[in-house]
Amino acid sequence: QCLLSGSWRSDTGCRMVVSILGEDGSFSGSYLPGSAASNPEILTSPLEGFQQDAGLVQQPTFSFTVRWRLRARTTAFLGQCYVGTNGEETLHALWLLREAADSPAEDWKATR
């Protein structure tokens, strides 16, 4: 069974900690980008999300958002939790980062 509670680390050194996992699949925690190791000004940012019911689906989907503390940015993650034949849980996710734009004319470069 794949549950998101606990600590996760990405291939790029990002760290996600899910500290609260509700019965309804909602969760919250914190996120620290991998670049924080070389830049002490980067702070841990809060995250909030939702996981599909792991009781109904063996390898559930999930989504969460990170509200960055130092900049006007939000990142949305969408993915799935997989359980390998050895029982190891792995998360696969895509992300979309949005920065605040100064005007509608600048909107085209605000999303990565």
- Of 64, 59, 109, 51, the C-alpha closest to 82 is 59
Q: What is the pLDDT of residue 36?
A: 65
Amino acid sitting at position 1: Q
Domains present along the chain, CATH in parentheses = 6-106 (2.40.128.30)
- Start-to-end CA distance of the chain, whole Å, equals 32
Strands (E), the chain: 6-9, 15-21, 26-32, 45-51, 61-67, 73-83, 89-99
What's the whole-number average pLDDT of the chain? 89
Which tens digit of pLDDT belongs to each residue from 46-57?
A: 999 999 987 888
pTM given for the model: 0.86
Q: What is the mean pLDDT of residues 34-62?
A: 83
Which tens digit of pLDDT belongs to each residue from 18-30?
A: 988 898 999 999 9
Q: What is the pLDDT of residue 44?
A: 86
Q: For the chain, how are helix, strand and coil distributed in percent, rounded to 5?
A: 10, 50, 40
Give the residue, 91 or 57, on which the prediction is more confident: 91
Sheet holding 6-9, edge to edge: 6-9, 15-21, 26-32, 45-51, 61-67, 73-83, 89-99
